[in-house]
Amino acid sequence: MTRNMILHLAYDGSAYHGWQTQKNDRTVQQTLEESLSEVCGHTVKAVGCGRTDAGVHARHYCANFRTESRIPADRLPFAVNARLPKDISVYEAFEGSQDFNAIGSCVRKEYIYRILNTQIRDPFLESRVCFYPQRLNMEKMAEAAAFFEGTHDFRAVRSVGTETRTTVRTVHWCRVSREEDLITIAICANGFLYNMCRAMVGTMVYASYGKLEPRDIPALLEKGDRRLTGPTMPPQGLYMNHIWYPSFEIGDKG
């Protein structure tokens, strides 16, 4: 009987052109599928919980694939990791219901965006944070973040890309915190548009130094004009961080 296997994995996206398989660029999906195919003894096609762009990372990510291989689920991570490069790791594997789909069954996701807000670069974080030397105003950023929460049309903070049936999304929370020089923005929503997180963060940065006022954000969302909101921030600061499904979740506990 064909099993529907669920994987909990993580990856550093620096060397990849995003998650989704492409013709001429190395991707996380392609790399994972090649390793799974070796282990399972047949061609494997994996479904990921979302499209991450080139240079974007995942602290926690979910994928599923179908196989007739009888390899025990608890042995699968060891077998696959032995064939994967060191910047991708499968943490756990378990069998799911036949109707489970990593993206279609997902009810909400959280991304985090990390900004190193100091005048001195950290060479060890170069590909894993957005280096931003101009001092950012945390109060203004937090005020701006709060205006993104709720159900809105988010076309004003998306780039032209994959077409969707609707640009309305519900943001469950948008929170800003700082620990020494590292700022973390956590955004949880029922779905994300192309570059939505990075444009939201760019809009918060604009609000930080007065290029727009936090209270202007509802009107900017209503207008839906991408030119009026903040820039799309660099990809290396972005991480998929938590994924929720009806019967389980993948991410940090507690």
Tell me what pLDDT residue 23 has: 86
Tell me what pLDDT residue 51 has: 85
Share of the chain above pLDDT 90, in %: 92
Tell me what pLDDT residue 21 has: 87
The pLDDT-based confidence of 253 (bands split at 50, 70, 90) is: confident
The pLDDT-based confidence of 22 (bands split at 50, 70, 90) is: confident
User: Where would I find the beta strands (DSSP E) of the chain?
Assistant: 3-11, 47-48, 57-67, 88-96, 108-116, 130-131, 150-153, 168-179, 182-189, 238-244, 249-250
- At residue 111, does pLDDT exceed 70? yes
Contact 196/157 with Cβ under 8 angstroms?
yes
- At residue 162, does pLDDT exceed 70? no
- Give the Å distances, CA to CA, from 224 to 26, 103, 137, 221: 34, 26, 26, 5
Tell me what pLDDT residue 161 has: 67
- At residue 224, does pLDDT exceed 70? yes
The pLDDT-based confidence of 1 (bands split at 50, 70, 90) is: confident
- At residue 225, does pLDDT exceed 90? yes
- At residue 134, does pLDDT exceed 80? yes
What pTM does this model have?
A: 0.94
Three-state secondary structure of 113-127: EEEECCCCCCHHHCC
The whole-number average pLDDT for the span 94-121 is 96
Q: Could you give the CA distance from residue 83 to residue 38 in angstroms, rounded to a whole number?
A: 8
3-state SS, residue 19: coil
3-state SS, residue 30: helix
Give the residue numbers annotated as catalytic, written as ranges.
53
Tell me what pLDDT residue 29 has: 97
Tell me what pLDDT residue 92 has: 97
Q: Could you give the CA distance from residue 178 to residue 114 in angstroms, rounded to a whole number?
A: 10
- At residue 227, does pLDDT exceed 60? yes
pLDDT in tens, 57-91: 999 999 999 999 999 999 999 999 999 999 999 99
Domains of the chain, first to last: 3-105 (3.30.70.580), 108-244 (3.30.70.660)
